[in-house]
């Protein structure tokens, strides 16, 4: 499949949180380099969203534990002639750097930004429709009229407080995705159901489908099975179940 849409379905809340954070970090990466004040406004909103997601008390602990778990799993490949020791050392070094960087962060991700009263005044208003108008936040309105380089430098400074979390989550998800082997499967009568092998705990399902089919997969799953129901947009702009037969690529990642 050269041109595909890729969907991902997490099997637990921890991976769900990682995917949400990755989604926000990708958005932030796209918005910061731009010049328009509106782009930097949305970059700030994205930083606040990351802080909201990262507010969960055990998130940092979960990430650190997952890094240690990955290191332990990778170290078991030491001495395996089929594994490059140099590549193994490089990945473990990345994990060590991620662990050290995140461990040095005091408190939750973005905690240092909560001491910036100006930023927090903006954060308190963003949930109100139109709450960041110039008459509500004149200082913020003035900031938006600064030159693009000045605004960008500010946003980069604030976003840098989230960098250790971003790098760790990116690395953990990359290793998780690399653990799976893609397989071609066929949905009959618009549905695909597969029982998962016992003794393995899968954390993520990846699905790649040709957009030319005009189908939208609705995925559900648990530790025992995974199910995909194929939907199609109707003339009423709603999704309807289809009975089409369609092939797609599925990857289960443990």
Residue whose tokens read 């990351």:
50
Number of alpha carbons in the 13 Å side-chain half-sphere of residue 238: 3
pLDDT for 181 beyond 90: yes
179, exposed or middle or buried, with CB in 10 Å at 0-12, 13-18, 19+? middle
Q: Is residue 118 part of a domain?
A: yes
The residues near 99 (Cβ < 8 Å, ≥ 6 apart) are 64, 67, 68, 168
Q: What torsion, rounded to 10 degrees, do the Cα atoms 56, 123, 32, 175 define?
A: 10
Q: Classify residue 188 by its DSSP letter.
A: B
**Count of Cβ atoms closer than 10 Å to residue 233 Cβ:** 12
- Shared domain for 144 and 203, answered yes or no, is no
Q: Are residues 139 and 35 in the same domain?
A: yes
The reported pTM is 0.92
Give yes or no for residue 22 having a pLDDT over 90: yes
One domain, residues 159 and 202: no
Please check whether residue 229 is in contact with residue 193, taking contact to mean a CB–CB distance below 8 angstroms.
no
Number of domains in the chain: 2
Residue of 40 and 82 predicted with greater confidence: 40
* Six-digit token string for 21: 């954070």
Rounded Cα gap, residues 119 and 40, in angstroms: 13
Domain boundary among 121, 149, 175: 175
> pLDDT (tens digit, 9 = 90+) per residue, 109-143?
888 999 999 999 999 999 999 999 999 999 999 99
Answer whether residue 1 shows pLDDT above 50: no
Point out the domain boundary residue: 175, 206, 223.
175
Q: How many angstroms separate the CA atoms of 132 and 126, rounded?
A: 6
Pairing status of strand 246-253 against strand 204-209 = antiparallel
The answer, yes or no, to whether residue 33 has pLDDT greater than 50, is yes
Whether 70 contacts 122, CB under 8 Å: no
Q: Which domain holds residue 217?
A: 180-253
- In this predicted structure, what is the pLDDT of residue 223? 85
Asked if residue 249 and residue 144 are part of one domain, the reply reads no
The chain-wide mean pLDDT, for the chain, equals 94
3-state secondary structure (DSSP) of residue 12 = coil
Q: Examine residue 89 and state whether it is found in any structural domain, yes or no.
A: yes
Residues 168, 238 share a domain? no
Task: Using the 3D structure, point to which of 129, 148, 175 is the last residue of a domain.
Answer: 175
């Amino acid at each position: 499949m050269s041109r595909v849409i890729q969907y991902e379905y997490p099997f637990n809340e921890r991976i769900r949180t990682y995917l949400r954070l990755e989604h926000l970090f990708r958005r932030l990466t796209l918005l910061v380099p731009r010049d328009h004040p509106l782009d930097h406004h949305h970059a700030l909103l994205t930083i606040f969203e990351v802080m909201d997601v990262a507010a969960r008390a055990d998130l940092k602990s979960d990430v650190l534990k997952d890094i240690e778990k990955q290191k332990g799993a990778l170290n078991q490949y030491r001495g395996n002639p089929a594994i490059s020791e140099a590549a193994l050392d490089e990945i473990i070094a990345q994990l060590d750097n991620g662990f050290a960087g995140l461990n040095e962060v005091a408190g939750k991700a973005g905690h240092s930004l909560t001491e910036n009263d100006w930023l927090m005044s903006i954060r308190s208003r963003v949930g109100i429709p139109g709450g960041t108008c110039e008459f509500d936040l004149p200082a913020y309105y003035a900031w938006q009229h600064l030159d693009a380089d000045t605004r960008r430098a500010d946003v980069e400074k604030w976003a840098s407080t989230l960098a250790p979390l971003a790098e760790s989550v990116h690395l953990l998800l990359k290793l998780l995705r690399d653990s799976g082997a893609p397989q071609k499967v066929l949905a009959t009568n618009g549905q695909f159901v597969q029982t998962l092998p016992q003794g393995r705990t899968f954390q993520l399902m990846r699905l790649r489908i040709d957009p030319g089919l005009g189908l939208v997969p609705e995925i559900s799953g648990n530790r025992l099975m995974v199910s995909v129901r194929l939907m199609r947009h109707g003339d009423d702009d709603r999704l309807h179940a289809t009975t089409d037969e369609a092939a797609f690529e599925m990857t289960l990642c443990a």
